[in-house]
Chains A and B, each alone.
Chain A
Amino acid sequence: MKGLTSLERIIVESLGKHGQPFETIQEQTGLQENVCFNLLQALILKGIISFEKKTYQINPRISPLIIEEKNGQEAKKAESLEVIEAIADMKEDKLYRFQKIALDEKDEKIFKAMLHNLESFLKEANEKSQSSTLLKDKKIIFWGMSDVQKVVKQIVKG
Chain B
Amino acid sequence: MSLQNSTIQRYRLFYPQETLREISARTGIQITRVFRLVNGKPMRLKEFEAFEKAIQIKIAENPNQSRLNKNIEEASSILSHEELGRIADYIERKVNTRKFTRNLLSPIFEEAVIA
Contacts and interface: CB of A to CB of B under 8 A. Distances in A.
A6 B93 CA distance: 9
The interface residues of chain B, by DSSP majority, are classed as helix
Contact of A1 (B79, B92, B100): B92
Interface residues of B, number: 15
Interface in B67-84: 79-80, 82-83
A33 to B, nearest CB: 12
B80 A5 contact: no
Contacts of A39: 100
Contact of B93 (A32, A35, A78): A78
Interface of B: 79-80, 82-83, 86, 89-90, 92-93, 96-97, 99-101, 103
17 contacts: A1-B89, A1-B92, A2-B89, A5-B96, A6-B97, A7-B97, A7-B100, A7-B101, A34-B103, A35-B100, A38-B100, A39-B100, A42-B100, A78-B86, A78-B90, A78-B93, A158-B83
